[in-house]
A and B are shown apart, each in its own frame.
Chain A
Amino acid sequence: MKDEIEELERLLLAWEEGELDQAGINRFREILRTSERAREYYLQMQMLEVALKLEGEAGLGEMFQSDKPSVSLSEQNSFFPLKQGFTWKSLASLAAILLLGLLLGRLFYLETSEGDPELERLSTLENYPQQASQAGSLEATSQGVALITRLVEVEWADGQHPHEVGDALLPGILALDSGLVQIEFFCGATVILDGPAELELQTFELARLASGRLRAQVPPAARGFTIDVEEMKIVDLGTEFGLAVSQEGTDVQVFEGEVELHPASASKKILNAGEAMVRNAQGELSPSTASSDTFIDIATLEQRDQQQQEARFQSWQRWSQAFRRDPRLIAYYAFDEARQWERKLTSSVEPLDHNLDGAIVGADHTPGRWEAKGALEFKQPGDRVRVQIPGEYASLTFLCWAKIDSLDRWYNSLFLTDSYEQGEPHWQILDTGQLFFSVRASEKADKGPAHRPILSPPFWDRSLSGKWIHLATTYDVKSQYVTHYLNGEQLHRERLPDPQLVPITRFGAATLGNWSSPMRPDAHFAIRNLNGSIDEFAILSEAIAADEIQEIYFTGKP
């Protein structure tokens, strides 16, 4: 019994030091599950730990310099600098500060955790497995054995998660009905999978081809890269080879270097460049000759990829030309000005109105979703595009193609109005990866909460870093709903209560990719620059439907 408590103590200390592995955690839980005394002791120690922390923050520790920033209780409590006797006015502003303070904190899954089944169904949290790791203090980790680096005309098989270029692949099956996928294994081997095919990725240097054709290019550094097929192992010794698996059997062809064949039923065989080996359904091996043309190589894939990109770019251009004349447009920037020296962001709304042109400050031109398309990159705290948008509106839709490198600020701006007066919207991303939309509701700060921000669940994590994503938010005055979208899919939908619904919206002076509010005294909020690029941005005077947003996403998808 006593030993158990001692073990518990040791495990707890290891946990606090961040040294406890899963086996240790399991043992820890087992002790707690089986011993009431251990539970009692654990809670007692935790209470002591909290008391020590409180004591440290209450001043005892103050004479010692802390060199490690930690979340402090007293900091949280500083939202409540009150004890007794204050007026409603100070309370109202305090309440506003409280709310603001709470919102600045790291909020996770608020909507889903409140248990609304509709929200749980709508949120796509489970597609973003990495986000939770940002909550802990552990080092960021990522999983995968390979990356998808090219996709050409791919039709995924039923039930296969539709991957995008840049996705990291976990061990598991990759199945396609047609098209070509280029996969780069973390060991350095590149594989072109030619559909229909089914490849099971096992480790960063091992995969099993169940059916279909592939061509593997294995540089010397990746020697030892192995592909299993039924009853045979193919070990690459630094080379290029083709492999086809069908019901008739297996066909291995070596184009360069050499590979080792390890048939289950026979001894090892070496195949040199130009040689090939066919294994029929009966398991009989017979030599053959290699013909490189029957397997698509990287250069050909590259060519076909570029043709596909070109076609997609042209199809977006056609759509964009028509979209420019959409009478619902309030502002539209297609970023098709690729001249490096240009410091003006031309408005794309037709008929042309140069008053809507934006002024580029700091941000650099960079290629957009396609090599030939322009974009602006926001990097420095000062980078921004200033715009001036006149008029008054009701419902709104915001659309934006962005590539986010990282979320460095509490607030990372997409589009922010300068002074944030009544009726002015703010559209941004929190450092927690949540999309944030609000319209200033009250006229002055001391009249209750200034606004009701609508936050999506966290959608962004490091796995989306550097990828072009499509963000959209609609503000519907009639139905009172605010809806967030990511890549054409609804992320979150929430109804605004009456007092927070503003029927008339306006913009005036505003900023893309940053916030321009130098006059504000709370200057520590003022740096909200995006770390990333934008290559298309539009505001419409209507809350457009989900299927239209989805269509816009599919047309503009790189």
Chain B
Amino acid sequence: MNQAEKTEQFVQQLAKHQNRLYGYIFSLLGDHARTADVVQETNLVLWRKIDEYQPTKPFIPWAFAIAHFQVLAHLRDAKRDRVLLDEDLAETLSREAQQKVNSLDSVTESLRNCLQKLAPHSSELIQKRYFQGNSILQIAKELDRSVGSLKVALLRIRRQLAECVQQNLAEEGES
């Protein structure tokens, strides 16, 4: 394989696995803005280390290893800011998060089905919260509902979605 082909494969792999990298990093940071930053850092480090890339070996463990390192560095550097997990917990959760994120595509697919099953007002709430990025406070104002009741509703819908997704995944595993 010449250099050009190697670069081509590298770029393809990097593109293909953006979502998984995002999912993994988000699991450990729990914050979209920070995750976007760390994904970019990880991309750049991977790009710089393209010489270490071996097309014959799986891309994702290598990328995860670097992402893992970037997350820890980020948690270390962000000490003065509030972060959800500390370095120890991120370490503890890292392996499990990598395994979970491998099924991200199936989760997304089954989520699509599960969203259809939601009651109209639940679906509206998910749309406002996740697809339009509104805060609960904003939604509460818009719908003229109390923040507390919205939180309860949102927690319930999330649990419902999580159960539905888990069930789909389990069925998929059986078939």
Contacts and interface: CB of A to CB of B under 8 A. Distances in A.
Contact of A102 (B44, B100, B128): B44
Q: Which of A52, A77, A113 gathers most chain B CB within 10 Å?
A: A113
Given A52-B111, A55-B112, A136-B31, A17 B136 contact: yes
Contact of A136 (B81, B137, B166): B81
Contacts of B19: 50, 54, 73
B65 interface: no
9 contacts: A39-B92, A44-B162, A51-B107, A61-B132, A70-B133, A80-B14, A102-B43, A109-B73, A136-B82
B155 A10 contact: yes
Contact of B158 (A45, A53, A54): A45
A29 to B, nearest CB: 6
A13 B26 contact: no
Contacts of B145: none
B170 interface: no
B144 interface: no
Contact of B37 (A18, A22, A29, A135): A135
A45 to B, nearest CB: 6
Interface of A: 9-10, 12-13, 15-18, 20, 22, 25, 28-29, 32-33, 39-40, 42-56, 60-61, 64-68, 70-71, 73, 76-77, 79-80, 82, 86, 88, 91-92, 94-95, 98-99, 102-103, 105-110, 112-115, 125, 129-130, 132-133, 135-138
Contacts, number: 214
User: Across chains A and B, which 3 residue pairs bring their CB atoms closest together, nearest first?
Assistant: A61-B131, A80-B15, A113-B73
A28 B83 CA distance: 11
Nearest to A16: B30
B22 A50 contact: yes
Interface of B: 4, 7-8, 11-12, 14-15, 18-19, 22-23, 26-27, 30-34, 36-37, 39-41, 43-45, 47, 69-70, 73-74, 77-86, 88-89, 92-93, 96-97, 100-101, 103-104, 107-108, 111-112, 115, 126-128, 130-137, 151, 154-155, 158-159, 161-162, 165-166
Given A32-B89, A54-B108, A135-B34, A47 B131 contact: no
A93 to B, nearest CB: 12
Given A39-B93, A65-B132, 4 more contacts: A76-B18, A76-B40, A82-B12, A108-B74
A45 B37 contact: no
A132 B44 contact: no
A122 B166 CA distance: 49
A50 B89 contact: no
Nearest to A21: B82
Contacts of A51: 104, 107-108, 111, 165
Contact of A106 (B26, B40, B70, B133): B40
B18 A109 contact: no
A113 B85 CA distance: 18
Contact of A82 (B11, B31, B158): B11
A102 B40 contact: yes
Contacts of B89: 29, 32-33
B32 A53 contact: yes
A18 B14 CA distance: 31
Given A53-B32, A91-B11, A43 B27 contact: yes
B137 to A, nearest CB: 8
A47 B27 contact: yes
Contact of A61 (B32, B70, B130): B130
A47 B15 contact: no
Given A32-B89, A56-B130, A80 B45 contact: no
Which one of A15, A22, A109, A125 has the highest number of Cβ atoms from chain B below 10 Å of its Cβ? A109
A56 to B, nearest CB: 4
A515 B77 CA distance: 33
A18 to B, nearest CB: 8
Contacts of A92: 4
Given A17-B136, A61-B132, A77 B11 contact: no
A45 B161 CA distance: 10
B95 to A, nearest CB: 11
B31 A77 contact: no
B117 to A, nearest CB: 14
Contacts of A32: 85, 89, 92-93
Contacts of A137: 31, 33
A54 B80 CA distance: 30
A15 B30 CA distance: 8
A56 B132 CA distance: 8
A428 B137 CA distance: 40
B14 A47 contact: no
